[in-house]
Amino acid sequence: MTWTDLGNPIPRDKLRKYEPYTWPSQNVEYLPIPIELNLPRLEEIIACRRTRRTFGQLNREQLASFLWLSCRINAKGEDHVGFQITQRPVPSAGAIHPIHLLLGNPNNNWVRYEPENHAFVQLGNIESPLSKLWAEIPDVIDPEDGTALLFVAEPGKTYAKYKFADSLIWRDAGVLIGHMALVAEALHLNFCPLGITGEPWAGKLDNQCQLAGVGMALLGSRTPL
């Protein structure tokens, strides 16, 4: 067995200042905020959770509820590292949350989820590197009418606070995917993590090597078996 040692993450004695990647901010679509969610009890969700591999089309309300319970920013904190730390539904090393979420559909249209305003933002010209990514998914599973979730890390954010931060970033991605699996079950949606990372396409979204793909998943409405 070959094991890659990613090092032992430790906080820096002196924090680094990091300037975050600037995403395009054109054509913002604000999503509806769920007013009243009738969710099962936690033990029911845990008992019923399965990886489900059929994917119907999602409406905006379903996507909005899923993202509201998974990714939104609840509160902001200090900005000693050049950007504000945030509180969200999932834990993250140092409250940094370096994982951005991009969503794509079978028409190969991609948007970014903006967690502060609970909104979709179009990627504009930087979307082109993802044109080949959707073609990779059928090699793993038939996406049907589902929505692809691409997890894009910004490693420099975590490195601003920690040495040897690589494993923290991968763990952040894993925590988010696991949380999403439970949220999907609670909302009676189908969710399947994929083994592919989204590389090299995610890394080509910017030319300064600030981004990297750290996972993908498929999300869809629950269709009869």
The answer to whether the beta carbons of residues 177 and 217 sit under 8 Å apart is yes
pLDDT value of position 54: 94
The domain defined by 44-221 folds into: NADH Oxidase (3.40.109)
pLDDT value of position 100: 98
pLDDT value of position 224: 52
Query: Taking the model in full, what pTM does it have?
Result: 0.95
d(CA 106, CA 163): 39
d(CA 69, CA 93): 19
pLDDT value of position 111: 94
Q: Where are the domains of the chain?
A: 44-221
| pLDDT surpassing 70 at residue 45 | yes
pLDDT value of position 225: 46
What are the tens digits of pLDDT across the range 54-78? 999 999 999 999 999 999 999 999 8
| pLDDT surpassing 90 at residue 168 | yes
Burial of 139 (0-12, 13-18, 19+ CB in 10 A): exposed
pLDDT value of position 198: 94
